[in-house]
Structure 1
Amino acid sequence: MLREYQEYVLAYRLRRAVGGRVTPPGEQLRLSEYAALRLERQDLARSLVRRGLDGARMRRLDALSDQLMFGFWLNPSEVAAFLRAAIREGSHPALGDPAAFARLLTPAEQARLGTGGVAQVCAHHIACFALAAPMLDPDGLNAAWERIEATRPPLFLDELQQPAP
């Protein structure tokens, strides 16, 4: 769950940076808020499987998925939809420039990661954008997944660190 929250925060920061219609509504969720909504989403999905589809519950599941940006980085259709929307908003350097993506990290996160770690985080997330292009090309999709797995970053967010005694 911590890695999932970290992915949510980076997606939130990126969407804020791009702006326009991709700007997430509301403030960034704290870890405890994210966890509560994630558990609600999980319970809702489980109940839809057990009890069958229901319009109101499906809409709530979709709303929670959108709010949590569930699958933002690793779902090819989500990545493609985001990139199309981001391009309509004028794009953003962080979509392809590692230095611009690094600016999404706080100074403490950058210090915690070090130069190599920041490079890994940027390479990993920029590699995720490659999922949008090869959706129809299995070899391209496999290559994209290999790049993503090879650059998987550690946990580093400020929000996930224990306060100093």
Structure 2
Amino acid sequence: MSEMLREYQGYVLAYRLRAAVGGRVTPGGEQLTLPEYAVTRIERQDLARSLIKQGMGAAQMRRLDSLSDTLMFGFWLNPAEVAAFLRAAIDEGSHPALGHPAAFAALLTASERSRLGDSGVQRVCAHHLACLTLAAPMLDPDGLSRAWQRIEDTTPPLFLDELVATGAA
């Protein structure tokens, strides 16, 4: 259960970051609530399962791609996705949250920062900024291994306001 909540938490932070960067990386539509995310995630999972079991037509494939985009599925942990985002973000003029922990921390609500405390906020920022480093070492196996180790060492707890309100955190 906590893995699914972490996935939603990653979605929310990716949404906030993309909204902060703006331009062509701005997410389409409103941020999904946890129940909306869950329904959308189940639909995506069903389509992916169908693709594996029986294949799918072009319309279903477009729907799967659309759902993946909406959910920002794999945003933080997919080196190709991170690289594409960073290229687009740089084209949009970049954003301080892409490299500065204090600017990334500003993406969190005041109650989230309070719940995490200073060391928790530092861990959240270190984790997500480490995820952004996945783009750089795609061709350097040692660099990629170091990036994954930093990501694993800084996995944050569940802390989002949306999760606390549901009693999940």
Q: Mark yes or no: TM-score above 0.5.
A: yes
User: How many residues of Structure 1 are paired with residues of Structure 2 in the alignment?
Assistant: 164
For structure 1, the residue ranges without an aligned partner over 5 or more in a row are none
Question: In structure 1, how many angstroms separate the alpha carbons of the residues matched to 2:15 and 2:165?
Answer: 22
Q: Where does residue 62 of structure 2 map in the other structure?
A: 59
Residue 48 of structure 1: CA displacement?
Answer: 1.0
Question: In structure 2, how many angstroms separate the alpha carbons of the residues matched to 1:19 and 1:66?
Answer: 16
Pair 1:85 & 2:88 matched: yes
- Identity value in percent: 75
Judge which range, 2-11 or 49-58, deviates more: 49-58
Within the candidate set 119, 137, 144, 2:122 is matched to 119
Question: What root-mean-square deviation, in Å, do the aligned CA atoms of Structure 1 and Structure 2 show?
Answer: 1.0
Question: In structure 2, how many angstroms separate the alpha carbons of the residues matched to 1:87 and 1:77?
Answer: 15
Residue 53 of structure 1: CA displacement?
Answer: 3.3
Q: 1:3 to 1:163 in 2, by over 3 A?
A: closer
Partner letter of residue 34 of structure 2?
A: L
Residue 162 of structure 1: CA displacement?
Answer: 3.8
Residue 56 of structure 1: CA displacement?
Answer: 1.0
For structure 2, the residue ranges without an aligned partner over 5 or more in a row are none
Q: Where does residue 136 of structure 2 map in the other structure?
A: 133
Task: State the Cα deviation string for residues 28-49 of structure 1 (Å, max 9, x = none).
Answer: 0000000000000000000111
Question: In structure 1, how many angstroms separate the alpha carbons of the residues matched to 2:97 and 2:166?
Answer: 29
Contact 1:8 1:68 in 2 (8 A): yes
Contact 1:34 1:68 in 2 (8 A): yes
Within the candidate set 54, 73, 81, 1:70 is matched to 73
Contact 1:48 1:54 in 2 (8 A): no
Q: TM-score, normalised by structure 1?
A: 0.97
Question: In structure 1, how many angstroms separate the alpha carbons of the residues matched to 2:42 and 2:56?
Answer: 19
| Stretches (4+) displaced over 4 A | none
Partner letter of residue 29 of structure 1?
A: L
Q: Where does residue 96 of structure 1 map in the other structure?
A: 99
Pair 1:10 & 2:19 matched: no
Q: TM-score, normalised by structure 2?
A: 0.95
Task: State the Cα deviation string for residues 102-130 of structure 1 (Å, max 9, x = none).
Answer: 00000000000000000000000000011
Contact 1:11 1:69 in 2 (8 A): yes
